[in-house]
Amino acid sequence: MIDLILRNARVTGQDALTDLGVDQGVIVAADAGTTAAETIDLGGRLVTPPLVEPHIHLDAVLTVGQPRPNVSGSLFEGIAVWAERVADLTYEDVQSRVRQILRWQLACGVQHVRSHVDVCDPQLRALRALVDLRDEVRGLIDLQLVAFPQQGILGFDGGQELMREAVELGADVVGGIPHYELTREDGVESVQFAMALADEFGLQVDIHCDETDDDHSRFVEVMAAETIRRGMSGRVTASHTTAMHSYNSAYAYRLINNIARAGLHMVTNPLDNSVLQGRFDTGPIRRGHTRVKQLQEAGVNVCIGHDSVMDPWYPLGYGDPLQAAFVLVHLGQMSGDAELIRLIEMITTNPAAALGVPDYGLRAGGQADLVVFDAPSEADALRLVAPRTLVLRGGKVVARATPAQHTVIWDGTEEQVTFLRR
């Protein structure tokens, strides 16, 4: 007799339905003869390991409209609005907003989160709030915090000292924003500074890199070179890299080869970048995404990030990685049969590798962390941005949903509609 059996599970990547056993928090083998204290029939619903959010700015969530709306919706107005809002930031303000979003994320099946935290604040208020919250939620949602210098490392007064202080305070990852520094040379130096700091403390690196339409913004090559020189392969992530869409193809070819050689992880953020990039284009308007398919063809690990939830840069969202994946289907032209499955990997196994999540995946003997979608396949999960009906962490239910029931009155008869092909 085991604790729980999930019958008729459609485990991602497999065609046949299986039964998943859970006992003492761990996944165990189960068959038709296995008995359990509780049995749940999933009816062929899709089951994946936990969703992993590799790129969000938790310190800014839920601040949309404060102290004033971003009227144009542009990146630059967003930065100006945020600079005003940040003056009012308090420890309690950050914690209460983030507590709410972590609940939304858990309801979506997210159990591992990497958040950038603006450290261009002499008091490091947001980082202190999140370091304490990281301890509070450990075991339910695992938080990684990136020391993120929103105003630059060299271009911000005291930037280098604040980065070091942030690391000493407990940041897990060292960030950067080289394309925002005053000169190309400062950008290069900021990448070298961040990588050296991470190397010194044995930390990972995740840099906002080349988040611009300027095809002369070329700092990913510096990240790749430093990663190779320092032997930091697997510990370094380049986020956004939207300038790559504007590089000439000969340069992009050489760059992508070096990214693969360096073993960089890449994060694309389809929600924010689809609205923030291309703002100087009058038509055709560039899509604002890195070269996802070419990177993947070269064997590079590419992940999807959500980036913002209701902040000065992006007024929408509720923290669901599946929404971001849905947008990338369109703007990344990833509607091919195998690509739809790859998109699910880009919000699960790929970011788990980038974050270095230990013991990740659905296998007998592994911790029973999993997510059930109200959909029979990866394609249907994406198509419907399907609710997560059940989320387990260590074998315990940590979230569940009762999906909406839709009916139509057709010729005087009430009929149920499921949006699934019969």
Measured CA to CA, the distance from residue 40 to residue 397 in angstroms comes to 12
- Choices 20-28, 156-164, 167-175, 302-310; region in contact with Zn ion by CB under 5 A: 302-310
Measured CA to CA, the distance from residue 413 to residue 268 in angstroms comes to 47
3-state secondary structure of 216: coil
Place of tokens 């270095």: 356
- Choices 103-111, 220-228, 299-307, 347-355; region in contact with Zn ion by CB under 5 A: 299-307
* 163/399 with CB nearer Zn ion: 163
- Residue 121 tokens, joined: 């604040």
Measured CA to CA, the distance from residue 257 to residue 215 in angstroms comes to 18
- Choices 155-163, 303-311, 352-360, 411-419; region in contact with Zn ion by CB under 5 A: 303-311
CA-CA-CA-CA torsion sign (296, 300, 303, 307): negative
3-state secondary structure of 65: coil
* 19/206 with CB nearer Zn ion: 206
Tell me the β-bridge partners of 367: 26
CB of 57 to Zn ion, least distance (A): 6
Residues 305-334 contacting Zn ion, CB under 5 A: 307
- Choices 30-38, 300-308, 343-351, 360-368; region in contact with Zn ion by CB under 5 A: 300-308
CB of 176 to Zn ion, least distance (A): 12
3-state secondary structure of 120: coil
Q: Does residue 189 contact residue 154 with C-beta atoms inside 8 Å?
A: yes
- Choices 159-167, 241-249, 301-309, 353-361; region in contact with Zn ion by CB under 5 A: 301-309
CB of 267 to Zn ion, least distance (A): 8
* 307/345 with CB nearer Zn ion: 307
* 48/301 with CB nearer Zn ion: 301
Assign 3-class secondary structure to 384-419.
Answer: HCCCEEEEEECCEEEEECCCCCEEEEECCEEEEECC
* 247/313 with CB nearer Zn ion: 313
Using CB atoms within 10 Å of the CB of residue 263, give its burial: 0 to 12 exposed, 13 to 18 middle, 19+ buried. Answer: middle
C-alpha 85 chain-centroid distance: 24
Q: Does residue 101 contact residue 61 with C-beta atoms inside 8 Å?
A: yes
CB of 272 to Zn ion, least distance (A): 7
Measured CA to CA, the distance from residue 286 to residue 115 in angstroms comes to 27
CB of 244 to Zn ion, least distance (A): 16
Asked whether the bond before 49 is cis by omega within 30 degrees of 0, the reply is no
Q: Which residue out of 181, 211, 339, 345 is catalytically annotated?
A: 211
CB of 208 to Zn ion, least distance (A): 5
CB of 313 to Zn ion, least distance (A): 8
* 307/369 with CB nearer Zn ion: 307
Measured CA to CA, the distance from residue 49 to residue 371 in angstroms comes to 6
Judged by CB under 5 A, how many residues of this single chain contact Zn ion? 1
* 209/372 with CB nearer Zn ion: 209
3-state secondary structure of 269: coil
Measured CA to CA, the distance from residue 238 to residue 253 in angstroms comes to 17
Measured CA to CA, the distance from residue 405 to residue 191 in angstroms comes to 51
Instruction: Assess whether 189 carries a catalytic annotation.
Output: no
CB of 303 to Zn ion, least distance (A): 13
| DSSP secondary structure letter of residue 58 | G
- Residue 406 tokens, joined: 């839709």
* 53/221 with CB nearer Zn ion: 53
11 Cβ contact list (under 8 Å, min separation 6): 18, 20, 47, 48, 362
- Residue 143 tokens, joined: 């938080």
- Catalytic positions are 211
Residues forming contacts to Zn ion in the complex (CB under 5 A) are 307
